[in-house]
Amino acid sequence: MKVSRRAVLKMSGFGFAAITLLPRVAFAGRNSVLSMRTGVQPNGKTRLVIETSARPVYDISYPQNQLMISLSNTAAGAVSPKLSGDTLVKNLTQTQNGDKLNIVADLRRSVVPLDKSQVMILSPNGDSEYRLVMDFVAGTSGAGATESAAATTKTPAKKYVVVIDAGHGGKDPGCIGKGGTKEKAVVLSVAKKLKKELDSIGFKTYLTRSDDTFLKLADRAEIAEKRHADLFLSLHANANPSRSTRGYSVYTLSEKASDEEAQKLADTENAVDKIGVSGFAEFSKEIRVALSALQQRAVAELSEEYANDCARAMDNASIDRLPGPSIRHAPFAVLRSTVPGALIELGHLSNASEEKLLKSDAHQNKLVRAIVKSVKNYNFDV
């Protein structure tokens, strides 16, 4: 099976923007491999991740007992692969073939050729560069298809669990618009609407708060853990000293902030807990010990996939975006858990016209429709 270059660009979700990113490479027109690793996903699939300095352009082929990823215009990197012992991949080698780099995986068992939805290109975040991410299951093309067809007819569809977190609440109003609109009220209203919509199309949803009560950040993250959520969405609205600043933005968790503004925002959103108890530090430590580095990366990757879907859905709905990158990263306390998720700043209450929009039913419904779309597009099965 071959994945075309066009399909790669389409899959990446950035269309022709990818072309403009190429000049970022250190050597003119050259990509290089920075790391390679395998791991087991929670559902038992083998995940292969190849990190590169520039957006990868690739082909995948399936020679006997092997899997080959050819990266165009790429140089081998002096990296030793990090291999998890219990995956379908025995070893990984790099072979330079002209300006192509072939990464060959020797397999313990043959794998089902990948479907589009199982190949992802993630953009750099604070902790890593571009990543080509692929998930494999054992089997052959035909057998795999029959097996999964049989599985879908036998097993009733799993109800995916989404925990919706309306930020702030109670003694903590969040930010307040010039017209007096409180963040805590706007996000609660959107959260309730979102719950109703997602429930109506078959998701199982929980709200972290359903009224005007104060909740610590750790408690919010813990609700997602206890409900075994597949996705965690924390809803907020923003404020900026510049009253002309407007637009939504989407954030995922990263220890390093993607930019100064993202760090400032995380500081503001995290500050809530400094009023409360010290519980957070210990909770986060527990979670961190419980999670292996590979699992942490898997959660980060899934979160980024969702964030991409979310930004795309908001853009498609013509909801104004805060100028700059579509997804940002920062150390948000509320996102520190084993559940993939994102923090969505729905817009700016500090902007007069956006404040009006944010409190209107029509605009709240528009936001909800876009988020519902992003949840439907998210690949829960990975």
**Residues near Zn ion (CB under 5 A):** 167, 174, 236
Instruction: Give least dist CB 168 to Zn ion, A.
Output: 6
Instruction: Give least dist CB 183 to Zn ion, A.
Output: 5
Instruction: Report the residue number, 139 or 276, with the smaller CB distance to Zn ion.
Output: 276
Instruction: Report the residue number, 239 or 382, with the smaller CB distance to Zn ion.
Output: 239
Residue number with the smallest Cβ distance to Zn ion:
236
Instruction: Report the residue number, 99 or 267, with the smaller CB distance to Zn ion.
Output: 267
Instruction: Give least dist CB 343 to Zn ion, A.
Output: 8
Instruction: Give least dist CB 170 to Zn ion, A.
Output: 13
Instruction: Report the residue number, 101 or 272, with the smaller CB distance to Zn ion.
Output: 272
CA-to-CA distance for 162 and 227, rounded, in angstroms? 9
Residue in the structure block whose two tokens are 């027109």: 29
Instruction: Give least dist CB 175 to Zn ion, A.
Output: 7
At a CB cut-off of 8 Å and minimum separation 6, what does 153 contact?
A: none
Instruction: Report the residue number, 167 or 341, with the smaller CB distance to Zn ion.
Output: 167
Instruction: Give least dist CB 236 to Zn ion, A.
Output: 3
Beta strand spans in the chain (E): 31-40, 46-52, 58-61, 66-71, 74-75, 89-97, 100-107, 119-122, 130-136, 161-166, 204-207, 231-238, 249-253, 327-330, 341-348
- DSSP helix/strand/coil, 143: helix
The radius of gyration computed from the CA coordinates of the chain, to the nearest angstrom, equals 22
CA-to-CA distance for 112 and 67, rounded, in angstroms? 10
Neighbouring-strand partners of residue 107? 89
Instruction: Report the residue number, 12 or 238, with the smaller CB distance to Zn ion.
Output: 238
CA-to-CA distance for 9 and 344, rounded, in angstroms? 26
Instruction: Report the residue number, 236 or 329, with the smaller CB distance to Zn ion.
Output: 236
Contact 281, 216 (CB under 8 A): no
Instruction: Report the residue number, 81 or 167, with the smaller CB distance to Zn ion.
Output: 167
- Could you give the dihedral angle defined by the CA atoms of residues 279, 284, 289 and 294, in that order, rounded to the nearest 10 degrees? 170
CA-to-CA distance for 331 and 354, rounded, in angstroms? 26
Residue in the structure block whose two tokens are 């500050």: 271
Neighbouring-strand partners of residue 67? 105
Can you read off the two tokens belonging to residue 380? 């829960």
Instruction: Give least dist CB 110 to Zn ion, A.
Output: 49
Instruction: Give least dist CB 174 to Zn ion, A.
Output: 4
CA-to-CA distance for 263 and 256, rounded, in angstroms? 8
